[in-house]
Amino acid sequence: MLSVLSNRTYRHLFAAQVIALVGTGLLTVALGLLAYKLAGDRAGAVLGTALAIKMVAYVAVAPVAGAFTGQLPRRAFLVATDLVRAAIALLLPFVDQVWQIYVLIFILQSASAAFTPTFQATIPDILPDERDYTRALSLSRLAYDLENLLSPTLAALLLTVISYNWLFGGTVVGFLCSAALVVSVTLPAATRSERTGGIYDRTTRGLRIYLATPRLRGLLAMNLAVAAAGAMVIVNTVVIVQALLGRSQNDVAIALGCFGGGSMIAALVLPRVLERLSDRGVMLPSAAFLGVVLVGVAVLTWGGAIGWPVLLATWLVLGIGYSAAQTPTGRLLRRSASPEDRPAVFAAQFALSHASWLVTYPMAGWLGATVGMPMTLAVLGALTVAGVAAAALLWPASDPDVVAHAHGNLDPSHPHVQGTGHSRHEHAFVIDDLHREWPARAG
């Protein structure tokens, strides 16, 4: 897996991602302490609102940013968004009103919504070989999991010698280092499109390509399935561990660590698995496994059979299924869009996947508080299974890259069909200006 780090450009971008993630982790801890300072026992409500604002920014801003990333120099765009995030983190220690937190978080997360899809769409151009790209996706998954495990520990160590306000300084340093690493390499230029169109056309292009592609319609349902299972773990682990099992705060971290550890295990083995199995053959069973496990835990909880060892084992296998269902997503997006449309399609996935989290986060919290944990597990497990079932229907089992099709509406002299007339021809098929609908026989 680490062989892809021999590519200098990717190595620097991966380091930029890791450092920025550590900075973001420090920001999360510092923000919680700042909220407590300003709101006291209402800090949870402040953080919940900030999380909702983050998701709204992701859903609303990513498609708009994706409309322009193909028109702007990638390196300058990525550096500019890092600098914006650093500037906002620098301002956060000086706020003295809760509403100021909300405004600054919206700006910071809007910059992240512009940075992340552009960053993700750049990697396929740096690593065109599919095996290398698969390894890069697994490394990215590992980076996210390590950040979840290490950033809170690092923050706790730092807080023994500095005040929480200095954690924001760590965030600033992280984003500045990320910008410096991006500047240190030459990125491949985005493929420029010759098309013309207004802001509406460019903003909605990624979404239109996404919804017109069968495998991506299946991915949309998968987003909901994965978010339902993930929200159950992220939102309700503290309730299960402390309220249901009567264990300590440290045990909450251990349980979440098991989930992250399972995710890391899957990320390590996925490159080899994906050499033998299709993306669909890995993602659908993995997501279905998530739903089955949640429903099974609901039954155990109703029967009073849930215990600490069972919970840890369950969270470990949920982490494995979660990573296996989510990590190959980038491969689907890469094969479903032309190079000039990749930023828009990655932005559409970024927005749509976070829209699923925007639904499932409050659902997990509200159900847990009103109907109890066994019913919450059952409902979110059923929602996961339903999402997988929808994905299986929308995503054809036969899903070739090369699709035979005809162009009855093109002039025979058009370069795309010259020499074939209106007869059927075949090539790697994606939705674009010449191919606006998926051929019916292709799925």
SS3 letters across the chain: CHHHHHCHHHHHHHHHHHHHHHHHHHHHHHHHHHHHHHHHHHHHHHHHHHHHHHHHHHHHHHHHHHHHHCCCCHHHHHHHHHHHHHHHHHHHHHCCCHHHHHHHHHHHHHHHHHHHHHHHHHHHHHCCCHHHHHHHHHHHHHHHHHHHHHHHHHHHHHHCCCCCHHHHHHHHHHHHHHHHHHHCCCCCCCCCCCCCCCHHHHHHHHHHHHHHCHHHHHHHHHHHHHHHHHHHHHHHHHHHHHHHCCCCHHHHHHHHHHHHHHHHHHHHHHHHHHHHCCHHHHHHHHHHHHHHHHHHHHHHHHCCCCCHHHHHHHHHHHHHHHHHHHCCHHHHHHHCCCHHHHHHHHHHHHHHHHHHHHHHHHHHHHHHHHCCHHHHHHHHHHHHHHHHHHHHHHCCCCCCCEEEECCCCCCCCCCCCCCCCCCCEEEECCCCCCCCCCCHHHC
Contact by Cβ (8 Å): 303, 359: no
Q: How far is CA 56 from CA 59, 81, 340, in A?
A: 5, 18, 26
* Of 393, 418, 433, the domain-final residue: 393
What lies within 8 Å, CB to CB, of 408 at 6+ separation is: 422
What lies within 8 Å, CB to CB, of 376 at 6+ separation is: 232, 236, 364, 367, 368
Average pLDDT on 323-348 reads: 86
Q: Does the pLDDT value for residue 46 go beyond 80?
A: no
Phi/psi at 419 (5° precision) = 90, -15
Question: 96 and 241 share a domain?
Answer: no
Q: pLDDT band for 221, please (50, 70, 90 cuts).
A: very high
pLDDT at 287: 96
Q: Is residue 56 part of a domain?
A: yes
CA 138 to chain centroid, in Å, comes to 13
pLDDT at 139: 81
Q: Does the pLDDT value for residue 435 go beyond 70?
A: yes
Phi/psi at 405 (5° precision) = -160, 170
Q: Is residue 186 part of a domain?
A: yes
pLDDT at 330: 87
Question: 182 and 239 share a domain?
Answer: no
Q: Is residue 440 part of a domain?
A: no
Q: Is residue 196 part of a domain?
A: no
What is the distance between the alpha carbons of residues 237 and 409, in angstroms, rounded to a whole number?
56
Question: 298 and 368 share a domain?
Answer: yes
Most confident residue range from 158-162, 163-167, 200-204, 271-275: 271-275
Q: Does the pLDDT value for residue 365 go beyond 80?
A: yes
pLDDT in tens, 299-334: 988 877 678 899 999 999 999 999 999 989 988 988
Average pLDDT on 177-184 reads: 94
Question: 230 and 338 share a domain?
Answer: yes
Question: 274 and 349 share a domain?
Answer: yes
Q: Is residue 180 part of a domain?
A: yes
Higher-pLDDT residue of 422, 135: 135
Question: 128 and 230 share a domain?
Answer: no
Q: pLDDT band for 288, please (50, 70, 90 cuts).
A: very high
Q: Dihedral (C-alpha) 118, 320, 283, 137: value to the nearest 10 degrees?
A: 30
Higher-pLDDT residue of 228, 57: 228
Question: 229 and 370 share a domain?
Answer: yes
Average pLDDT on 273-298 reads: 94
Higher-pLDDT residue of 151, 330: 330
pLDDT at 443: 45
Q: Does the pLDDT value for residue 432 go beyond 50?
A: yes
Phi/psi at 400 (5° precision) = -75, 155
pLDDT at 128: 85
* Of 352, 375, 393, the domain-final residue: 393
Question: 356 and 232 share a domain?
Answer: yes
Q: Dihedral (C-alpha) 163, 151, 123, 197: value to the nearest 10 degrees?
A: -60
Number of structural domains (the chain) is: 2
Q: Does the pLDDT value for residue 116 go beyond 90?
A: no
Q: Is residue 171 part of a domain?
A: yes
CATH of the domain at 154: 1.20.1250.20
Q: Is residue 208 part of a domain?
A: no
Q: Does the pLDDT value for residue 296 go beyond 80?
A: yes
Q: Does the pLDDT value for residue 250 go beyond 80?
A: no
Rounded to the nearest integer, the mean pLDDT of the chain is: 83
Higher-pLDDT residue of 411, 325: 325
Most confident residue range from 110-124, 192-206, 282-296: 282-296
Ranking 8-22, 98-112, 123-137 by mean pLDDT, the lowest is 123-137
pLDDT at 225: 96
Q: What whole-number percentage of the chain has pLDDT above 90?
A: 27
Question: 145 and 5 share a domain?
Answer: yes
What is the distance between the alpha carbons of residues 292 and 65, in angstroms, rounded to a whole number?
37
* Of 155, 190, 225, the domain-final residue: 190
Give the type of residue at 183. Answer: V
pLDDT at 224: 95
Q: How far is CA 299 from CA 233, 310, 383, in A?
A: 17, 13, 16
Question: 245 and 363 share a domain?
Answer: yes
Average pLDDT on 70-99 reads: 88
Question: 305 and 271 share a domain?
Answer: yes
Domain, as residue range, for 243:
213-393
Contact by Cβ (8 Å): 255, 410: no
Question: 259 and 315 share a domain?
Answer: yes
Q: Does the pLDDT value for residue 267 go beyond 90?
A: no
Contact by Cβ (8 Å): 188, 125: yes
pLDDT at 177: 94
Q: pLDDT band for 442, please (50, 70, 90 cuts).
A: very low
Q: Is residue 399 part of a domain?
A: no
Most confident residue range from 226-240, 265-279, 284-298, 392-406: 284-298
